[in-house]
Amino acid sequence: MATTRRLVTVRHGETDWNLARRIQGQMDVPLNETGRLQALALTNTLAGFTPTLIVSSDSQRAVVTAIPFATQHKTPIHLSPGLREIYVGTWEGLHIAEAERQHPEEYARWHSGEDFPRGGGETRAQTARRVADALLEAVRRDDAGDTVFAFSHGVALRVGLDLLAAEGFIALEEPAPHFGNTQWMAVDLLKD
């Protein structure tokens, strides 16, 4: 009988930029004290799972979120640049109000829901493909086992999971949520 493979995705803990509504994108922003405490609390929240593989975006906010859980389970963290947050070019580092002032046309397009490369960065569709491919690569590893944990970012996880659902790799009853800090979701793979 085949073993069901499970993918557990986790968004990183809180940063000061999250609180300030500053656009992080792929900038390497550290966790704040609350984020570090959230990372520690995950070890209890996720106590019912035993990871067979842990992958993480190479951003420090994702890696530092993964460390307490990985340490508790004596499981190494494999870094995956494919799990990085969406790249938003010149918008990175801006407060959302600054983005609106400095890039009014782009802001209006983004606010209307249009998918385009903000600030010369990536589209959501490009990010979705990159993240979905990184998640599939992780679950297809020879040593992946049956429970793969992936620590990543809000937009990256949402669009990556939605693409995996659209392609029939996972089932979602509704679109993936906007992941809050340290919010997680477990899904079973229908195929790999």
Annotated catalytic sites, by residue?
A: 12, 85
* Helical pair 154-166 and 124-140, crossing angle rounded to 10 deg: 70
Closest CA to 149 of 140, 158, 157, 138: 138
Three-state DSSP class for 77? strand
Residue labelled with tokens 């990536």: 122
Quick one: residue 119, left, alpha or beta (phi over 0 = left, psi -120 to 50 = alpha)?
left
Q: Structure tokens of 162? A: 């939605």
Long-range (24+ apart) CB contacts under 8 A made by 96-99 are 96/21, 96/22, 96/23, 97/21, 99/23
**Which helix (H) or strand (E) covers residue 36, if one does?**
helix 33-45
Closest CA to 52 of 183, 144, 178: 144
